[in-house]
Amino acid sequence: MQRDFESLLMTCRERKRNVCSDSRKVRAGDIFVAVPGVTEDGAKYIRQALEGGAMHVVCKSVPEECIQLPGEIFVLHPDPREALWRLAEARWDTGNLPLKVLGITGTNGKTTCTYLLERLLTGLGHKVGVIGTVTYRWPGHSEPSPLTTPDPLSLHRMLGEMAAAGCDIAVMEVSSHSLAQQRVGGIPFAGAAFTNLTQDHLDFHENMENYFTVKAKLFLEQPKIDKVKVINADDPWGRRLLELCPDALAFGRNQEFGQRRHLYGELLSADTDGCRLRMHYGEKEWRLHSPLVGAFNASNLLLVQALALEIGVEPASLEILSGFTGVCGRLEKIANPQGRHVFVDYAHTPDALVNVLKSLRTAGFKRIITVFGCGGNRDRSKRPLMGEAVAAYSDVAVLTSDNPRFEDPIAIIDDVLPGLGAARELIVEPDRHSATEKALSIMKDGDALLIAGKGHEDYQIVQGVKHHYSDQEVLRELLHCD
């Protein structure tokens, strides 16, 4: 007789049974969930999980080779992905944790916003955990993040560990992949924020409409139903999302909000000294000077302030944000003895490149030199668009490699070149170290150099092998920094 899934959930909740979706990690007494993956189906490894000591296997159907085994071993579920997060939620009792979870989604800006929120909330006396592209961290713990949003088992476990460490707020980046693959299923979001939507990940989502629909899940489907929502009204996809979320707080730099609640921010200046903003929220008005360079950071600052207001932070406390100097790899300025204006940024989409290059252009530099490439085994359609963005806003374009993965770097470069037809000056150098060296060699006083694409990443993936490579380290070496 096969066991009922609901009774298995109860057992998992009461006995804190270990749940696993990797057959190699199964130990005696574990529950193994055979999840269909992107490249392989977990059902292929049921036998291996049983040999590892799995007490129960959750799957769509019992494999032929296992039919002779006792029926109570197998628990059938039509959607193993859903079964995985429900078991994870039961194991860690996530819905009852004394932890407020805030999720940020969108194409660009997620990482900067989570860092800004961490700085603000920590300054207000909260204990904050962060899950995102750079690290997973909370007081007493930090680890590099292999995924922007981890798998459900890791995610629910980390939230449980955050609560055990005394955290009262968790801030997390929510990727479109994680929403599509139910990785954030069962997470009791108390707040959701939308940055923007621009072309990215179309190798996965196929088109922008699908991409938007997946992003909207964080606002329309994820519990809690009564969570606060803040949405960028300057973004066309954000305006569509606002139509679906009449209770959301809109924010933006364009004063076009109709009759809805909104946070309006005037960008008073954006130069090498940072951003100056004047905010209007109902009858309240205040100013903020942030050292973050780039007009696009005004949207990040507005999002964070909007979300903070929605969870009860007073405008006077938002001054804490003025002390935040930036995130690793997000328009990060590399200090050097020559005093050159050298920046590293994670921009790896056409829109992100436009935003960061526009910001450097309006900051008043004489020339902008941009080193960039495109990742292999990813959306090929954005490659010429990235070339167009660099050509439009740079004086010198230096085209190189950026994680070619299993593709030929020269073939990737060939895909980008049609977009660089209007480039004022073009240098093609497949070796990223040499490309950076050449870019530095042509810099003059008053120029800005942007090394785009990798940001915080410290590796290059070539033919599936990860090699250590850090743009920051290379720049410091070439600039003879101590």
pLDDT digits (tens, 9 = 90+) for 314-368: 999 999 999 998 888 888 889 899 989 999 999 998 988 998 999 899 888 899 9
Q: What is the mean pLDDT of the chain?
A: 93
Q: How far is CA 89 from CA 60, 98, 168, 270, in A?
A: 20, 14, 18, 44
Instruction: Look at residue 70 and tell me whether its pLDDT is greater than 90.
Output: no
pLDDT tier for residue 430 given thresholds of 50, 70 and 90: very high
Quick check: bond before 127 cis, omega within 30?
Answer: no
Output the pLDDT for position 320: 97
User: Which range among 104-118, 197-211, 422-436, 460-474 shows the weakest confidence by mean pLDDT?
Assistant: 197-211
What Rg, from alpha-carbon coordinates, does the chain have?
A: 24
pTM: 0.83
Query: Measured at the alpha carbon of residue 333, what is the angle toward residues 327 and 338, in degrees to the nearest 5?
Result: 155
**CA separation for the pair 82, 76 (Å, rounded):** 12
Output the pLDDT for position 40: 81
Output the pLDDT for position 187: 95
Q: How far is CA 22 from CA 31, 59, 451, in A?
A: 11, 13, 37
Output the pLDDT for position 186: 94
Average pLDDT rounded to a whole number, residues 286-315: 95
Residues 190-248 pLDDT 10s: 999 999 998 665 556 568 889 899 999 999 986 666 899 999 999 999 999 999 999 99
User: Which carries the bigger pLDDT value, residue 458 or residue 271?
Assistant: 458
Residues 364-375 pLDDT 10s: 889 999 999 999
Burial class, 202, CB count within 10 angstroms (exposed 0-12 / middle 13-18 / buried 19+): middle
- Tokens (6 digits) for 31: 């529950």
Spatial CA neighbour of 172 closest among 119, 98, 115, 104: 104
Burial class, 421, CB count within 10 angstroms (exposed 0-12 / middle 13-18 / buried 19+): exposed
Instruction: Look at residue 149 and tell me whether its pLDDT is greater than 50.
Output: yes
SS (H, E, C) the chain: CCCCHHHHHHHHHHHCCCEECCHHHCCCCCEEECCECCCCEHHHHHHHHHHCCCCEEEECCCCHHHCCCCHHHEEECCCHHHHHHHHHHHHHCHHHCCCEEEEEECCCCHHHHHHHHHHHHHHCCCCEEEECCCEEEECCEEEECCCCCCCHHHHHHHHHHHHHCCCCEEEEECCHHHHHCCCCCCCCEEEEEECCCCCCCHHHHCCHHHHHHHHHHHHHCCCCCCCEEEEECCCHHHHHHHHHCCCCEEEECCCCCCCCCEEEEEEEEEECCEEEEEEEECCEEEEEEECCCCCHHHHHHHHHHHHHHHCCCCHHHHHHHHHCCCECCECEECCCCCCCEEEEECCCCHHHHHHHHHHHHHCCCCCEEEEECCCCCCCHHHHHHHHHHHHHHCCEEEECCCCCECCCHHHHHHHHHHHHCCCCCEEECCCHHHHHHHHHHCCCCCCEEEEECCCCCCEEEECCEEEECCHHHHHHHHCCCC
Contacts of 96 (CB under 8 A, 6+ apart): none
Instruction: Look at residue 65 and tell me whether its pLDDT is greater than 90.
Output: no
User: Which carries the bigger pLDDT value, residue 392 or residue 63?
Assistant: 392
Average pLDDT rounded to a whole number, residues 439-459: 95
Output the pLDDT for position 30: 96
Spatial CA neighbour of 61 closest among 2, 11, 7: 2
Average pLDDT rounded to a whole number, residues 277-304: 94
Instruction: Look at residue 272 and tell me whether its pLDDT is greater than 80.
Output: no
Average pLDDT rounded to a whole number, residues 439-451: 96
Q: Percent of the chain at pLDDT above 70?
A: 97
Average pLDDT rounded to a whole number, residues 159-173: 97
Output the pLDDT for position 190: 96
User: Which range among 13-17, 38-42, 162-166, 338-342 shows the weakest confidence by mean pLDDT?
Assistant: 38-42
Instruction: Look at residue 1 and tell me whether its pLDDT is greater than 50.
Output: no
Instruction: Look at residue 82 and tell me whether its pLDDT is greater than 80.
Output: yes
Average pLDDT rounded to a whole number, residues 391-416: 97
Residues 22-32: b if buried by 16+ CB within 10 A, e if exposed:
bbeebeeebbb
Q: Which domains does the chain have, with CATH numbers?
A: 5-91 (3.40.1390.10), 94-323 (3.40.1190.10), 332-478 (3.90.190.20)
